[in-house]
Structure 1
Amino acid sequence: MSTGKLTLLLLCFCLLGNYALGQKKNAAYQYHIKRATSAIKIDGVMDEAAWQRADTAADFFMVLPMDTSRANIKTSVRMTYDDNNLYVLAVCYTPGAGPYMVQSLKRDFDFQKNDNFIFFIDPFDARTDGFSFGANAAGGQWDGSMYEGGKVDLSWDNIWSSSVKNYGDRWVFECAIPFKSIRYKKGTRNWGINFSRNDLVNSEKSSWTPIPRQFPTAALAYTGTLVWDEDPPVASSNISVIPYLLGGLSKDFEKGTPVSWRKDAGGDAKVALTSSLNLDLTVNPDFSQVEVDQQVINLNRYELFFPEKRQFFLENGDLFSNFGYSDIRPFFSRRIGLNAPIRFGTRLTGKINKDWRVGVMDLQTGEATVGASAAQNYGILTFQRRVFSRSNIGILFVNRDATGSTPASGVAGSAYNRNVGVEYNLASSNNIWTGKLLGLKSFSPGVKGHDFVAAGHLQYLSKYWTLYLQDEHVGKNYNAEVGYVPRSGYNKISPLILHNFFPKSGAVLIHGIQLSSTYYFDEAFKRTDNESILSYVITFRNRSSLSFSGLDTYVKLLRPFDPTNTGQGSLATGTEHHWNTADVQFVSKPQNVFTYLFDASWGGYYDKGTRLSLSGQVGYRFQPYVNLTLNTTYIDLHLPLPYGQNSFWLVGPRADVTFTNSLYFTTFVQYNQQVNNVNINTRLQWRYRPASDIFIVYGDNSIPSPFTVKNRQLVVKWTYWWNI
């Protein structure tokens, strides 16, 4: 980043500092919670005396399709508590007897495709992080940890119970959240709270507090206040032990090896050092039940990104993984345990008080099973300090050290890689202004100079306008071996402008025009590539959408590149390529049991070639038990010799069957023509008690034609969550 641009960004952030100091927007919306006067049974029936005494939160505000009136669909919420649990009951009224719109009984459903009720808890009232719970109208549960002021990580999982009961004119959600399952500060009587309702039949999304339509109902900047009548109970002994036992077999048909039998054991432990600070321990962790990644046809010049799905890395994971940008991540947990078993690990995360968050993680791996590399130790330390109303300053240190000897040499490894960074995250009190300033430096043996990162962005988001500007500098020697930084040695600038229009009537709810560009330069500020996109997006009142885009692309190759990624030869370094592309996309309304998405693009490609890309998704649900989807991508490339014509299919049918809200079956098949592989992954999960599961997982990989099995594996895994 140039000195002038950095100075301009710093000046903007300083001027916005006072703006960020504003008071909580919806502080006047208060819910006074009282201790329960009777026992609560979680059955969806409001017949306990405690519910009759509880206050009621009602008269929700409409967020979609418009944010200028009260909701048409009525919802009322009551809360109470005892020594062990926080209780929430929501009565979701409907104009008729249904049918309700739900995908299935599967946990962590798609918010946009389900009639649901969800609430958001901010125990520190810091408007930056918290927890979310809820259910759809069929009883499928939703839970997640919240970060960055309104994002929900649905991979977070913990113990709680709920029930949904359907009546002729309403459905009722009732739940119990153990105080042991959430993190909060002892003696804090004011929490952030909000309730959200999504009603697909009537195309209405509503919220207890008023929220501008450009923000999600999860936006913690717009929560009300949960006022306790006394200090929230402190969970007594809060230690959980989560052991697992695993048995399985696998066979590699390509190598012709005999069947390999696997027997394994390990587990995790969670120790609440305080009500808001948690210590996690893991020994010999196993992640065989984690869902497989969704494949893509890879025509990229740089490494693809796939998100973390392993449970150990998820709670408060934003402290570590959200430092930086999507393509500048100094820490990426999927680097740990890549082709190497994790032997043990420990992690301390949580809040010290309202303003301070901390994260410390240390993991030890064994020798790599591929590449004969030494065992490694990974240490990560991060602190986050809230400033102004919702902004924060973060510090991150990442260290990787070889701790063993490689099988090949027998010599103790001494290689290391370290990263240190600081960032300032701006978030105004009303969320209209957001931004970031980032600085990073890496340390590697024998490397000096050009090993730092300076980046920043600033965004203005209102109902009518979105203005965005991002600037990045990544030195050519910057090295984040435990991170995800697919590109180095560049300067980047990315502006965006969007304007929305709101018709007063008719089928169109909102339409807008957007122009965005991404320009890359080398360290001497000579252009290397850029892409500009002009789009027109239409959202209809029934929540379907249609968009048209035109793209202008220029690339000057900085290294040899095979434009088919199939090993047919590479275009030379320094060659220049320029083309245009037209794209259209349509997404159907989510209310139907049959849904679909279609995207088509056609234009130029490398070496004066052409590219046709068609992708789509169709889905059908047999409510509430079966959800069927089919993802399909077809790409056709026409290039000069030696490449010629190349076409690739990626077909991914998937079936999710939820027999109950605790018994799930998933089958996911992926045929990828580019890599000539068919992958099958099936998983049966029985949640026989809260947060305790039995998994049966089968997977195989095959060559489609002539059909030849490459490998197969079957795993049975048992886990048990034991609260001591």
Structure 2
Amino acid sequence: MGYTSRSYSILLLCILFLSFLKSFSQEKKTIEAVRIEEPPRIDGILDDPVWQSLPAYGNFFMYEPGNEGMIPEGYASEVKMAYDDKAVYVAAYLYDPQPDRILSQFSQRDEVFVQADYFSVALNTYNDGINETRFYVTSAGTIGDAIRGQNNFDFSYNVVFECKISKDDKGWYAEFKIPYNALRFPEVAVQDWSVNFYRRLVRENQTHTWNFIKNSVGQETQYNGLVTGVRDINPPVRLTFFPFAQGVITNFDGDTDANLSAGMDVKYGLSDSFTLDATLIPDFGQASFDEVRLNLGPFEQTFGENRQFFTEGTDLFNIGRIFFSRRVGSGPTGDVGTLDDTEIVENYPGKVNLLNALKISGRTKDKLGIGFFNAVTEKTYATIRDTAAGTTRDVLVEPLSNYNIVVLDQQFNGNSSVSLINTNVTREGHFRDGNTSAFVFDVADKDNNFRSSGRAIVSNVNNFDGTKTGFLSELDIFRIKGKFRYRIGHDFSNSTYDINDLGLNFENNFNNFVAGASYQIFEPTQWFNNYRFELTARHRRRYRPDVEIGNTLNLNTFFVLKSRFAFGGNISYFSKDDDYFEPRVPGRFVAFGASLGGNVFVSSDYRKKFAYDINFGYRSYFDTESRQNTFFDIEPRYRFSDKFLMILSSEFSFREKDFGYVDNTETEIFFGQRERVNIENSIQASYNFDPYKAVDLRFRNFWSTADYTEDVFFTLNEDGTLTNADYDISENDPNANFNIWNLDLSFRWRFAPGSEATLLYRNQIFNFDSQSTLGYGESLRNLFDQPQQNTLSLRITYFVDYNNVRGLLNKDS
């Protein structure tokens, strides 16, 4: 029997209705923030009268592992939102049909991705689809905060806010107070804000969001719901102080030193949108130790930033990647000059003291981000001793230096931005100065089908021999929508590009091309929650002379089962590679043979008390049968309880028949064949008394050898090949035995919002010699024969809000 016209009409109406429902479900929700007179008490118990009077907003959507599916029965979530002239308040009702099974691992501030559920508020006070401030709390009461930007997620951002939780037989609850000194927003009568709320259920391996996020299109920041009702805010003065005092006792090789220091960090709201951060007389004595390694390569060894002032709120200054904060206060840039025959360098300082630093940043109502950074370092001297006369003299190796950054970042369309950045380093007197300017863009179409990003950078270095100007450009075009995606790109630099006064670049003089494609699922299948394949091809060339350097082809894979067991790996082919940096002589290169290799890894379910990560890799070179690299990493972890977690890690690396630079004379460049072994063992352990107090252990031992005892040496030919040669190691022995030991044991106590006390014991031992044939045990015994440095330090930081002090003074008066 055929369909009648009435049947067709009904069918058409059903289709239209379903389409309407689908489009309706993806529209942005709206939540009304209600102005209140009496703020709630922040204790996690949502029995305050204000919460009883406000409307609740629920009906969360599935976000991970996929958008499809309904929220399981019993896991409903509801939120309420209020504000006054001091803060924004949020209440979250997080129901759970089995509250006794909620995972609740304890951790400390910002450690929110542990085996505990979490709830987060993603607040965008500009409603620009890009910038969010996220406030987290876990089901164990740990709080965290982060800045989410266009291409970054920065947990080094820290502000002072309050959040407490409670639990009962229906689930758990969270209560937030977010002061305005933790936010930046335009000075307008009616605020245009947006928000989303995230609920992570670790036990169920799911994430729910209040407003729907289509996980295969665009960025999640573009899917926030709207906030209405926020108007006529009269926020208090945004002025906070973080004074600190620190005492340090150090013992090294029988000598004991004691030192007391004090300083202060200041945050001042220049307006509702702009904030000044300053550090006065800083002391970074409790920054984490650097993971130093044996460096046999042609480039300097660099480390991540551990100083809080240079990691917190620096998202604007990191645009364009021309700011490397470790340059500020790093080693001196000068040298001691020519020495007499009887003179030696008795002391050459490893770092330069920072006198003060400040940064100003914010964003206007027209979405223009503005940033200014300044730091000043003091004069630094090396000590020269005349061994014959017994006298000493000081040589200036780093003058008074000024570091500046200016940033302008215009965002638009909720997914795009263009930026201008300038960095400048001015050193007093006849020392090197540097200036770098960059134009950066990241632009996507409105429907998030394609994105194009790039940067153009001009560097200028003023040295004794005049000014040197360099240029770098990058351009990438991406398809960013759907399961199948691809990219093409081009990178260029001339031979005089140099940003190393306040930035970091290892290589220049290149003209490279890249193309890639990927396939990824966004909805779980019968077996997998997610999997991804990515193929990338690179063609590398020199700019001058225009010659091919090498080509690479790389395939990456990643799979996650529904049981949360992950595995994957990569396989890559490297063609013959002409390395122009390893010889350490301009214009010369060494040819490394083609190779094939890869790695495989597995990662088990962290929800279980015992879990592990294992990684195995291998690479074989075609130029010689015996040259190969092998590495193996294993990282078991055990969660003894919700309070105590220990992670062990061992990494083994073996390079057989490796070769590299040894020495050069005016006429010859020497290379040597070596056997290289790296073994690194580390321990991370944390006992958390509660979300405010913890004892942490961090230990690392790194051992590395470079063994040239087979006495196989070469001279480098003009065509990059090597010829066997004799080399006398009596004056320059390349054999290396490197062993370093670091141990940090600390007690952290966050005794009040924004206030913290840290007691740290640090033990360090280091040894470097030429006994490359020693085994690991023998090298470790020799390490303990070296003098040890033992340091005990106590640092106390206290948070002071100007408004609280003013209130107390007014009461007293």
Q: CA deviation at 1:595?
A: 2.1
The equivalent residue for 2:542 is 522
Q: Does 1:343 align with 2:360?
A: no
Q: Cα 1:615–1:432, aligned 2, differ >3 Å: closer, same or farther?
A: farther
Look up the equivalent residue of 1:400 and give its one-letter code: V
The match for 1:308 among 284, 305, 321 is: 305
Residue deviations 1:114-139 (CA, integer Å, cap 9, x gap): 32111211101112223110111111
Q: CA deviation at 1:454?
A: 1.0
Residue deviations 1:497-533 (CA, integer Å, cap 9, x gap): 1113578753223333221133321114422233321
For residues 759 and 523 of structure 2, what CA distance do their matches in structure 1 show? 52
CA contact (8 A) 1:417 1:444 kept: yes
Q: CA deviation at 1:394?
A: 0.7
Q: Does 1:401 align with 2:417?
A: no
CA contact (8 A) 1:603 1:611 kept: yes
For residues 661 and 112 of structure 1, what CA distance do their matches in structure 2 show? 13
Q: CA deviation at 1:365?
A: 0.2
Q: CA deviation at 1:459?
A: 2.1
The equivalent residue for 2:687 is 657
Please give the residue correspondences for 1:238-257 in structure 2 after superposition, counting only pairs within 5 Å: 238-253=238-253
Q: Which moved more, 1:72-81 or 1:287-296?
A: 287-296
Q: CA deviation at 1:331?
A: 1.3
CA contact (8 A) 1:316 1:350 kept: no
The match for 2:124 among 116, 122, 125 is: 122
The equivalent residue for 1:443 is 460
Look up the equivalent residue of 2:560 and give its one-letter code: T
CA contact (8 A) 1:289 1:683 kept: no
The equivalent residue for 2:474 is 455
Q: Cα 1:307–1:528, aligned 2, differ >3 Å: closer, same or farther?
A: same
TM-score of the pair, normalised by structure 2: 0.78
For residues 191 and 628 of structure 1, what CA distance do their matches in structure 2 show? 42
For residues 274 and 649 of structure 1, what CA distance do their matches in structure 2 show? 52
What runs of 5+ residues in structure 2 fail to find an aligned partner? 1-23, 331-350, 383-395, 660-671, 705-737, 767-779, 803-813
CA contact (8 A) 2:28 2:223 kept: no
Q: Which moved more, 1:385-394 or 1:293-302?
A: 293-302
Q: CA deviation at 1:685?
A: 1.6
For residues 498 and 240 of structure 2, what CA distance do their matches in structure 1 show? 38
CA contact (8 A) 2:187 2:272 kept: yes
Q: Does 1:422 align with 2:439?
A: yes
Please give the residue correspondences for 1:430-579 in structure 2 after superposition, counting only pairs within 5 Å: 431-445=448-462, 446=465, 451-480=470-499, 481-501=501-521, 505-524=525-544, 525-554=546-575, 555-560=577-582, 573-579=589-595
Q: CA deviation at 1:299?
A: 7.4
Please give the residue correspondences for 1:245-394 in structure 2 after superposition, counting only pairs within 5 Å: 245-253=245-253, 258-294=255-291, 302-303=299-300, 306-323=303-320, 329-338=321-330, 339-368=351-380, 372-394=397-419
For residues 203 and 371 of structure 2, what CA distance do their matches in structure 1 show? 43
Look up the equivalent residue of 2:582 and give its one-letter code: P
Q: CA deviation at 1:364?
A: 0.5
| Count of aligned positions | 674
The equivalent residue for 1:689 is 752
Residue deviations 1:211-231 (CA, integer Å, cap 9, x gap): 123479x82111111112533
Q: Cα 1:67–1:240, aligned 2, differ >3 Å: closer, same or farther?
A: same
Q: CA deviation at 1:423?
A: 1.1
Q: Cα 1:375–1:519, aligned 2, differ >3 Å: closer, same or farther?
A: farther
Q: Does 1:673 align with 2:687?
A: no
For residues 466 and 207 of structure 1, what CA distance do their matches in structure 2 show? 25
CA contact (8 A) 1:425 1:435 kept: yes
- Structure possessing the higher relative contact order (Cα contacts under 8 Å, 6 or more residues apart): 1
Q: Does 1:210 align with 2:212?
A: yes
For residues 291 and 638 of structure 2, what CA distance do their matches in structure 1 show? 19
Q: Cα 1:79–1:296, aligned 2, differ >3 Å: closer, same or farther?
A: farther
CA-atom RMSD in angstroms: 2.7
CA contact (8 A) 1:389 1:428 kept: no
For residues 561 and 595 of structure 1, what CA distance do their matches in structure 2 show? 44
For residues 524 and 754 of structure 2, what CA distance do their matches in structure 1 show? 48
Look up the equivalent residue of 1:307 and give its one-letter code: G
Q: Which moved more, 1:53-62 or 1:458-467?
A: 458-467
CA contact (8 A) 1:163 1:175 kept: yes
Q: Cα 1:510–1:240, aligned 2, differ >3 Å: closer, same or farther?
A: closer
For residues 521 and 648 of structure 2, what CA distance do their matches in structure 1 show? 34
Q: Does 1:177 align with 2:162?
A: no
Secondary structure of 1:52's match?
Answer: helix
CA contact (8 A) 1:59 1:74 kept: yes
The equivalent residue for 2:229 is 228
The equivalent residue for 2:714 is none
The equivalent residue for 1:94 is 96
Look up the equivalent residue of 2:589 and give its one-letter code: T
Please give the residue correspondences for 1:53-92 in structure 2 after superposition, counting only pairs within 5 Å: 53-72=53-72, 73-92=75-94
Look up the equivalent residue of 1:557 and give its one-letter code: D
Q: Which moved more, 1:329-338 or 1:506-515?
A: 506-515
CA contact (8 A) 1:297 1:650 kept: no
Secondary structure of 1:313's match?
Answer: helix
The equivalent residue for 2:676 is 646
Q: CA deviation at 1:470?
A: 2.7
Secondary structure of 2:226's match?
Answer: strand
The match for 1:632 among 620, 633, 650 is: 650
Residue deviations 1:366-400 (CA, integer Å, cap 9, x gap): 13467932221101111111234431111111110
Look up the equivalent residue of 1:29 and give its one-letter code: K
For residues 515 and 298 of structure 1, what CA distance do their matches in structure 2 show? 31
The equivalent residue for 2:606 is 590
What runs of 5+ residues in structure 1 fail to find an aligned partner? 1-23, 324-328, 404-411, 563-571
The equivalent residue for 2:344 is none
For residues 364 and 25 of structure 1, what CA distance do their matches in structure 2 show? 54
For residues 431 and 612 of structure 2, what CA distance do their matches in structure 1 show? 53
Q: CA deviation at 1:301?
A: 5.6
For residues 143 and 746 of structure 2, what CA distance do their matches in structure 1 show? 19
For residues 445 and 135 of structure 2, what CA distance do their matches in structure 1 show? 26
For residues 616 and 428 of structure 1, what CA distance do their matches in structure 2 show? 43
CA contact (8 A) 1:246 1:265 kept: yes
Q: CA deviation at 1:352?
A: 2.6
Residue deviations 1:598-642 (CA, integer Å, cap 9, x gap): 111112259641111111222222343122111221101111685
Q: Does 1:723 align with 2:801?
A: yes
CA contact (8 A) 2:565 2:603 kept: yes
CA contact (8 A) 1:44 1:173 kept: yes
CA contact (8 A) 2:99 2:172 kept: no
Q: CA deviation at 1:322?
A: 2.9
CA contact (8 A) 1:252 1:710 kept: yes
Residue deviations 1:453-474 (CA, integer Å, cap 9, x gap): 1112122223412312232112
The match for 1:137 among 114, 139, 158 is: 139
The equivalent residue for 1:619 is 637
TM-score of the pair, normalised by structure 1: 0.87
Q: Which moved more, 1:690-699 or 1:598-607?
A: 598-607
Q: Which moved more, 1:496-505 or 1:714-723?
A: 496-505
For residues 419 and 247 of structure 1, what CA distance do their matches in structure 2 show? 39
Q: CA deviation at 1:718?
A: 1.5
CA contact (8 A) 1:126 1:354 kept: no
CA contact (8 A) 2:156 2:313 kept: no
Q: Which has the larger radius of gyration?
A: 2
Secondary structure of 1:673's match?
Answer: strand
Secondary structure of 2:101's match?
Answer: coil
